[in-house]
Structure 1
Amino acid sequence: MIQWLKEGVMGLVHEFKAGKDDLSHQDKMFRGRTAVFTDQVIVGNASLRLKNVQLTDAGTYKCFIITSKGKGNANLDYKTGAFSIPEVNVDYNASSESLRCEAPRWFPQPTVVWASQADRGANFSEVSNTSFELNSENVTMKVVSVLYNVTVNNTYSCMIENDIAKATGDIKVTGSEIKRRSHLQLLNSKASLCVSSLCAINWVLLPLSPYLMLK
C-alpha cells in the first residue's frame, strides 16, 4: 500500500493498494491530477506524479508505504513560485525623465533594485518607487517600479529577485533610439526553465527532494 498525504489537507493526495489506485478518500483539490508509476511499484518506486501544478500545491507531503517485508514513511517539502521577465519603458506620464519597469507575475514577493552602467554601485532607492499589486487569483503579484531623474545615453537595469529567480530588464535611451534587453536566471538548479518570447511568464515547482515527481 502507498499513501500520499499533505499537511493541512483532510483527504488523501493519492492511495494505491492491492495492485490498483483507490481514490475513494482523495481530497477534491487533487482530483484528476495524481498518479503513481504502476508498472514500477513492484521494483520499489512509490513516486507521485502531480499534474497541472498550482501555487497552492506548496507544502509538506508525507508518503506511507506498507509491504510484506515491512513499512516506512518519508516527508518532503515542496515549494512553488512564479516569475516573469520585466519590461522597461520610458514613463512619459511622469513629470521628469523617468523609467517604468513592469513584470506581470511574481511569487513570493521579490525585491527590486535599480542599477546604472554609468553610476556603478549607486543607491537608487531614494529616487525610485516600487509597488506590488495582487493579481486576480490573490496569490501572485504584479511588480511596478519607477525610476526618476534618469539621464540619456546611459544604460539602466531593473533587477527583480526572490528565492526562485532573478530577472533583469535593461534599457538605454539615446537621442534617436531606445535599446532594450532582458535576461532571466533560475536560482534553483532542480527546476526546469523556459526562456523565450513564449515563456515570458513562468510558473515553476521547486522540489527539495528528488522523489516527488512532476509531469
Structure 2
Amino acid sequence: MTNCGQLIQNMLYDCNNPVVGGTEAVVYLFNRSDIAAYVRDTNNPQIITDITLTQGATGYRYEGYNTSVKPKTTFIKKDYSARFDHMVDFVVFAKGSAVKTEIEKLGTNRVVAIIENIHKSGDSAFEIFGTDLGLELTTLKSDPNDANSEGAYEVNLTSPANFKEPHMPATLYKTSYATTKTALLALIKADEA
C-alpha cells in the first residue's frame, strides 16, 4: 500500500539563491466555470503547464499598488483528511458604478486567482489559488474615511467555508518565467483603448 504522506526529498538552503518574500501588485482572476481544463506536468502534477478556457472566455487583471495583493495558504487538519485553505486578499483602487457592478459579481461566483511572486527562481514565480474548488468572496470593505485605504475596496477571497482545497496552490510553469508570463497574459482580456 502506498503511503501518500511519505517524504521523498531533502529541502536544502541555497545560499546563492535565497527566497525573497512578497508578491507583485497584480492578481489575475478567472471565472472558475470558464476553465475547461488544466494541463499538468506528467512528472509533477503540482505543476500546471497550461490552462484551457472555454470558447470565448478570458481572464481579468486586477492591478494594485505596493503590498496590496496578499495571498495566503493555511493547512487544515480534518478528522479524515488534510486540506488547505487558499486566501487571496487584494485592493481595488478604482471607483464608480462599473467597478461596483464587477465587485458584486464576486459575491455570487467562484473564481480562480493567479498571483506572481517577487521570487522568480525556477518555477516559483506563479501560483494558482482555488485550483479545484475556486475562491469565494468572504468579506468586502470600503471606508472612504480610512486614511490607509483612502476608500479603496478591500477584497478577501477564500476557499469555500465548508470545503477546502486538497492541495497547496498549484504552480503555473511552462519552460521558463518569460514563456509562462507570455502564456498567462495571452489568457487575459486585452486593455481597451
Q: Specify if TM > 0.5.
A: no
Larger strand percent: 1
State the structure with bigger RCO (CA 8 A, min sep 6), 1 or 2. Answer: 2
TM-score, scaled relative to structure 1: 0.24
TM-score normalised by length of structure 2: 0.26
